[in-house]
Structure 1
Amino acid sequence: MNTLRQLSGLLLALLVPFTPYCLAQGLVVGDVLQSPAAKVANPQRRVFTALALAGQRLVAVGERGLILLSDDNGEHWRQASVPVSVGLTAVQFADTNVGWAVGHGGVVLRTGDGGESWRLQLDGLRAAQLELQAAQSALSTQANDEVAQVRIQTAERLLAEGPDKPLLALAARDTKHVLVVGAYGLALRSDDGGASWHSAMGQIDNPMGLHLYAVAHQGNALVLAGEQGYLARSLDGENFEQMDSPYAGTLFTLASRGDGALLIGGLKGHAFVLAPGAERAEALPTLAPVSFSDASVLNDGRVLLANQAGGLFASAPSGFTPVSESLRKPVSGIVQAADGSLVAVGFSGLSRLPQSTVSASE
């Protein structure tokens, strides 16, 4: 599929939004950052972009600030209270209660009650202000003043353009430490549960400001993936060094397998594995020329990759094997529920597949 999420720098600057299933979101304006998400009829049929587990609860996020909860493995859903109506792109929980969701307008939302209610912690305007402050502070200590000046100019442009840049991914180490990343290299972190935030852009080796689509833990390390094959790793959780990339196309997904290897999914069905401590990711056989959209860790430690045609592939020692049933429709996010069933989200809403779907591929 040819989606906006696959387009690189210049086109993305002109055509928004960034995620493949929020095509109706449009440019973010101030009122959607201040307007609560509306209650809707049949919300499970709306457009969704991601989902996560909060203990055994399923939490799905999508268009116009929509967040749904399920406590019966995806059989039934109810709508949560959300203070904004922008499209949401990613969600993750640190434990049963504490989690974050990110989205358009540089929005960061936090919940402390398992997703029942959410509070706005950050938006794109504040994010730009934080980066400008960090860039100005770095100017006095920066060995290369020209680099520091460019960073200040970039931050000033972000501030002038307003909160129109989406955040696309996040990684929560625990209830205190969380990193959020997104378009044009946006990156912010909190070390106190989101009570305060600071820019992490100066700690990431990303001079071209490439879009960052995924971030995940691999043991004690953090790995970033993005457009043009961008990969970077942090061994201390703060400073990221760019890695040699095995591929020039965009990388969309990251997930750590039970044995510690990091599985990477990208454009046109390209997938890679990064062994623990390895300096370079190795290519895996291509099963279908369709871009991967999400990766999820199964209950048995394998990784499940979903593509934009609804194809599902479970990791095996030598690569991936197709599961017995494809959703046959676009998938933007997938997770295995507590009962072993698979729950997927996408442009056509929420879908549920029985446990046998995954078991059959073992």
Structure 2
Amino acid sequence: MARTFRPMGGLFHPGRAPVAGQSRKAALPDTLSVLDPKHVRNRTETGRDRRRIGCVWCGARASSFCRWGPASRRGTVKDWHTNCCRSNVLLKEPRRGAGLRPRRPKRIQLYETDIDQSRTGMPPQRRVAVMKRLGRFLLSSLPWFMIASLLTAAFYLEPAAVEEAVQPAAVSHNDRFYDVAYANPGEIWLAGNMGKIVNSDDQGETWREQTTPVVSNLQSIDGWDHDMLVAVGDGGVVLRTEDGGTTWTQVEAPVSDIADKLIRVRVMEDGSAWITGEFGAVLVSRDRGRTWTDATTEEQDVTWHDVAGDGEFLCLVGEYGRIKVSRDGGDTWTEVESPVGSTLNAVAFRDADHGVAVGLQGSVLVTADGGTTWDPLTPIVEEHLYGVIWHDGQWLVAGDKGIVASAGADARDWETRRVSARDYGWHTGIAAVGDRWFLTGHSNGFYGNGEWRRVDSKKRETDS
């Protein structure tokens, strides 16, 4: 005969306890319906809320919900109780579909355990699922871990100091040097943009940059010997050194408040030095560049581009073809008639009487009486000419678009050519170094025997 059970708090408990001397398992009824198909069908269709189910004997709850409510009282309670007390039971929801009768739910063992939970374990299926979820979590976290590592390195790690920094070349293709000084045999100095001065003591094979206190463009440089040199430039800058350029010191110079660009500096045989520049600037130093005084009688709206002489005799050339001569060391100046009206950029003398001046549009003037009179020559080229020197029995001239020219002592017959078929840059400075010429300007290098070699490149080019 079947016993009667009543639900208590969503759990099934037997109606009465076993009698004395009888085990709990023996006191269980023989049948108890775990699931009523009709009840399942009705509750499934109405969508009743899920309720907890549990063991009808010990009251242990299953590990999930049953959406069709409590079971009926037909079935085998012993089997139910035995399985329940061995393990928790999950009643799997039956499949539903049009015209299909719900199936009897299956008991799925989630994990083995005793009622007193004295031992625990995990079935292989659940272990695999957990490992998969852990793997997915680690893979999804990897990008964030990398980002966190990079941020940590950026904020908390300090870069290590490099013991040997890469030093840029002393002379590069971007440098613009406006003048060159060959004050001592074998030694060359270049002065140019951003206050840069470089020096070579091995005929230009290697170069060293020297430290200067200014960033103004340096227009000219000249010196008496290996140690004593002077450089001038924009903004009225005058620099001097007494140790071959190891240290350069800026000295004061009386320049105009209106225009203060200093263009050329020349040292003389008597130890004096002369500077020419904008707004009629003519400065002189008689103590090897330590102090400077104004050698002009009045300010003039004219730029003097160059000065030449031996200290006692001096000759100035500048804008509009103007020429001035002094024969008493600059105490008095006489302006002489010029046969040209274009600017004269440079002048040089091979002795007290013979000199050459060059300027814009290929102008060349020649004097044989110490600058008292000047004879114009037919322009040797159409390009502007910027520099002229006398060396080893010939005149050397440098100009625009890579033009160089040379002539004999009388300066009547000129031979012109380009330093390279591919070099059309301008050159403002020229110096004789051995049997070659050194040119500065848009490009810097040696020219000799029909070959042009830039100092910022090992490549050699020919003038053909």
TM-score for the superposition, normalised by structure 2: 0.56
- 1:289 aligned onto 2:382: yes
Residue 195 of structure 1, CA deviation? 2.8
Find the counterpart in structure 1 of residue 224 from structure 2. Answer: 94
- Provide the secondary structure at the position in 2 that maps to 1:332: strand
Residue 320 of structure 1, CA deviation? 4.0
Find the counterpart in structure 2 of residue 13 from structure 1. Answer: none
Note the alpha carbon deviations across 1:7-44, whole angstroms, 9 max, x for none.
xxxxxxxxxxxxxxxxxxxxxxxxxxxxxxxx954534
Find the counterpart in structure 2 of residue 334 from structure 1. Answer: 430
Note the alpha carbon deviations across 1:88-121, whole angstroms, 9 max, x for none.
1111112332121110011111122233432111
- Provide the secondary structure at the position in 1 that maps to 2:279: helix
Residue 67 of structure 1, CA deviation? 0.7
Note the alpha carbon deviations across 1:102-161, whole angstroms, 9 max, x for none.
1001111112223343211125xxx24xxxxxxxxxxxxxxxxxxxxxxxxxxxxx43x5
Find the counterpart in structure 2 of residue 353 from structure 1. Answer: 447
Note the alpha carbon deviations across 1:238-283, whole angstroms, 9 max, x for none.
1211111111110001112368511100110010111133521111
Count of paired positions: 281
**2:326 alignment partner AA:** S
- Provide the secondary structure at the position in 2 that maps to 1:105: helix
Structure 2 residue corresponding to 1:225, chosen from 298, 301, 317: 317
Structure 2 residue corresponding to 1:254, chosen from 343, 347, 353: 347
Maintained 8 Å contact 1:44/1:77:
no
Distance 1:165 1:259, change over 3 A: closer
Find the counterpart in structure 1 of residue 285 from structure 2. Answer: 190
TM alignment of 1:7-46, pairs within 5 A: 41-45=169-173, 46=175
Find the counterpart in structure 2 of residue 214 from structure 1. Answer: 306
- Provide the secondary structure at the position in 2 that maps to 1:64: helix
Q: Pairwise CA RMSD of aligned residues?
A: 2.6
**2:218 alignment partner AA:** L
Q: Which has the higher contact order (CA 8 A, sep 6+)?
A: 1
Q: Give unpaired runs (5+ residues) of structure 2.
A: 1-166, 453-464
Find the counterpart in structure 2 of residue 142 from structure 1. Answer: none
Find the counterpart in structure 2 of residue 28 from structure 1. Answer: none
- Provide the secondary structure at the position in 2 that maps to 1:319: coil
**2:447 alignment partner AA:** L
Mean CA deviation greater in 244-253 or 268-277: 268-277
Find the counterpart in structure 2 of residue 50 from structure 1. Answer: 179
- 1:308 aligned onto 2:406: no
Identity rate, percent: 27
How far apart, CA to CA, are the structure 1 residues paired with 2:357 and 2:429? 15
TM-score for the superposition, normalised by structure 1: 0.71
**1:268 alignment partner AA:** Q
Find the counterpart in structure 2 of residue 17 from structure 1. Answer: none
- Higher helix proportion (structure 1 or 2): 1
Q: Give unpaired runs (5+ residues) of structure 1.
A: 1-38, 129-157
Maintained 8 Å contact 2:364/2:379:
yes
Structure 1 residue corresponding to 2:294, chosen from 199, 205, 216: 199
How far apart, CA to CA, are the structure 2 residues paired with 1:275 and 1:114? 37
How far apart, CA to CA, are the structure 2 residues paired with 1:89 and 1:225? 17
- Greater C-alpha Rg: 2
Structure 1 residue corresponding to 2:250, chosen from 106, 120, 138: 120
Distance 1:256 1:324, change over 3 A: same
- 1:269 aligned onto 2:366: no
- Provide the secondary structure at the position in 2 that maps to 1:196: coil
How far apart, CA to CA, are the structure 2 residues paired with 1:246 and 1:122? 37
Maintained 8 Å contact 2:241/2:249:
yes
How far apart, CA to CA, are the structure 2 residues paired with 1:114 and 1:276? 37
